[in-house]
Amino acid sequence: MTGSDGRHRVFRYGSDFAPQRIVRAQGSFIYDSDGREILDFTSGQMSSILGHSHPEITKVVRQMSASLDHLHSGFLSDPVIAFAEALTGMLPDGLDRVLPLSTGGESNEAALRMAKTHTGGFEVVALDRSWHGVTGGAAATTYSGGRRGHGPTVPGVLTLPTPHAYRSPFNRDGHYDWRAEFEFGWDIIDRQSTGQMAAVLVEPVLSSGGVIELPKGYLAALRDKAHERGMLLILDEAQTGMGRTGDNFAFQRDGVVPDILNLSKTLGAGLPLSATVTSAEIEQDCYDKGFLFYTTHAADPLAAAVGSKVVEIVTRDGLADRAQELGGYVKSRLLDLQQQHPIIGDVRGRGLLLGVELVTDRQSKTPAHEAGAAIGQRCIELGACLNISRRLASGIFRLAPPLTTNHAEIDRAISILDQALGLQAE
């Protein structure tokens, strides 16, 4: 295998890399080696909610890298304590103990270990279109990709049908009975269980699974089912936290406080930072039982300082309200496109996390996999990165621009998508 620019030296950890080589990023844009400007409506890896190279974030990184960047995990520092105070200050009572980590998969591993330690059980319930990470326990609860080719997963994971209104067999003649589907799923879970249940782990909006929003009332029903069985409710808000859905945290819309909350991606605004947050009671019980979760970058001061600044900016600038307003505008523009392009079967999502599902025809709802890939590539060529999933949700665009975007950038992205859809139809 050859490659003139050295890219052949990089192990391909997923699909093939995009042909562009990115050399710079600023605000809502990335720039390739040919000087082309590309509108980034994926926020990097769905993470850079403040845009790229936000001046306040870069200032914190410069200061911390020169004074206090990394410590042994057995030490605490003022930036870590300040981060825990700032984050819990955004959250309701019952979420007041923070474990600072580095990735979303890591935070899910910690949460699952907490739940198993606290309850004494080992079984975990996850939705069948979920994405929680690629490490052991997280990978076992991930169903939208990455399950094949490497042997058995961690035992004890039971699946619940995702409440996917657009495609559910419980959607009959336009009426979606998610409660019937929910009860059906739990009946199957109870029959499979060995009686040693520990946790339910879900995303309030399944992003990699196709931008599928849990119906109103679903989280409350899920909490009740979990608590009836002595399980903890764990919410993975890797992509929905820190204002993206129109609330600081997606669970706030439903008024349901999880037993454990996992944050990552958006929490570090593009830098590797995650947090597993739980109650004082659960933390104390886990500590008394000898809970151990040392990682090299647990409680790193540089990342924690960035997290504090992200909390400050999101709350100070009212970015959740901004996401709600701009998200409504994006959704209205996408619904207009749906009227013009028959290939758009469904538009869904909340705030600035939106999905556009492509179909070969609206009657059969057959996914337009090949067209989706071609349209996504055409968007890149026209100057906009609009993420098209290549896993279980292939044929579904995810739009997740920075919360700092504006109407002009939105109009530009929609115009490019419109043009790409039109070219595909020719």
User: pLDDT, tens digit, for every residue of 61-73?
Assistant: 999 999 999 999 9
Residue 61 lies in a domain: yes
Active-site residue identified among 244, 391, 398, 412: 398
Cβ neighbors of 334 (< 8 A, separation 6 or more) are: 344, 347, 354, 356, 399, 414
pTM here is 0.96
Helices and strands of the chain, counted as H and E runs: 12, 19
Q: What is the distance between the alpha carbons of residues 251 and 260, in angstroms, rounded to a whole number? A: 12
What average pLDDT is seen over the chain? 95
The pLDDT confidence band at residue 392, using thresholds 50, 70 and 90, is low
Helix intervals (H) in 54-144:
55-67, 78-90, 104-119, 136-140
Instruction: Please tell me whether residues 64 and 213 are part of one structural domain.
Output: yes
Question: Whose CA is closest to 90, among 271, 275, 220?
Answer: 275
Residue 2 lies in a domain: no
Active-site residue identified among 97, 129, 223, 265: 265
Q: 335: domain range?
A: 7-54+318-425
Given a cut of 70, whether residue 203 has pLDDT beyond it is yes
User: Is 340 part of the annotated catalytic residue set?
Assistant: no
Q: What is the CA radius of gyration of the chain?
A: 21
User: Is 26 part of the annotated catalytic residue set?
Assistant: no
Active-site residue identified among 109, 178, 237, 239: 239
Contact, 179 vs 193, CB < 8 A?
Answer: no
* pLDDT, position 2: 44
Active-site residue identified among 131, 223, 333, 409: 131
Q: What is the distance between the alpha carbons of residues 237 and 135, in angstroms, rounded to a whole number? A: 17
User: Is 265 part of the annotated catalytic residue set?
Assistant: yes
The arithmetic mean of pLDDT across residues 123-141, rounded, is 96
Instruction: Please tell me whether residues 396 and 380 are part of one structural domain.
Output: yes
Give the CATH number, domain containing residue 228. 3.40.640.10
Domain boundary among 316, 350, 384: 316
Instruction: Please tell me whether residues 296 and 235 are part of one structural domain.
Output: yes
pLDDT 10s digits, 357-371? 999 999 999 999 899
Residue 136 lies in a domain: yes
User: Is 178 part of the annotated catalytic residue set?
Assistant: no
The pLDDT confidence band at residue 133, using thresholds 50, 70 and 90, is very high
Instruction: Please tell me whether residues 169 and 80 are part of one structural domain.
Output: yes
Number of neighbouring beta carbons within 10 Å of residue 187:
9
Terminal-residue alpha carbon distance, the chain: 36
Higher local confidence (pLDDT), 1 or 177? 177
Given a cut of 70, whether residue 3 has pLDDT beyond it is no
Given a cut of 90, whether residue 387 has pLDDT beyond it is no
Q: What is the distance between the alpha carbons of residues 29 and 172, in angstroms, rounded to a whole number? A: 43
Instruction: Please tell me whether residues 363 and 337 are part of one structural domain.
Output: yes
Instruction: Please tell me whether residues 381 and 256 are part of one structural domain.
Output: no
What SS3 state is found at 361?
coil
Q: What is the distance between the alpha carbons of residues 390 and 405, in angstroms, rounded to a whole number? A: 26
Residue 1 lies in a domain: no
What SS3 state is found at 39?
strand
User: Is 239 part of the annotated catalytic residue set?
Assistant: yes
Residue 250 lies in a domain: yes
Domain boundary among 316, 343, 362: 316
The pLDDT confidence band at residue 394, using thresholds 50, 70 and 90, is low
Residue 302 lies in a domain: yes
User: Is 336 part of the annotated catalytic residue set?
Assistant: no
Residue 385 in tokens: 């990165």
The arithmetic mean of pLDDT across residues 131-149, rounded, is 93
Instruction: Please tell me whether residues 269 and 409 are part of one structural domain.
Output: no
Instruction: Please tell me whether residues 174 and 306 are part of one structural domain.
Output: yes
Overall number of domains in the chain: 2
Beta strands 197-202 and 232-236: pairing type?
A: parallel
Sign of the CA dihedral with 205 first, then 203, 278, and 218 last = positive
pLDDT 10s digits, 252-307? 999 999 999 999 999 999 999 999 999 999 999 999 999 999 999 999 999 999 99
Given a cut of 60, whether residue 93 has pLDDT beyond it is yes
Instruction: Please tell me whether residues 242 and 343 are part of one structural domain.
Output: no
The arithmetic mean of pLDDT across residues 324-343, rounded, is 98
The arithmetic mean of pLDDT across residues 402-411, rounded, is 98
* pLDDT, position 388: 75
The arithmetic mean of pLDDT across residues 216-240, rounded, is 98
Instruction: Please tell me whether residues 180 and 246 are part of one structural domain.
Output: yes
Residue 160 lies in a domain: yes
Give the CATH number, domain containing residue 32. 3.90.1150.10
Instruction: Please tell me whether residues 24 and 132 are part of one structural domain.
Output: no
Domain boundary among 263, 290, 316: 316
The burial of 325, by beta-carbon neighbours within 10 Å (0-12 exposed, 13-18 middle, 19 or more buried), is given as: middle
Q: What is the distance between the alpha carbons of residues 182 and 170, in angstroms, rounded to a whole number? A: 10
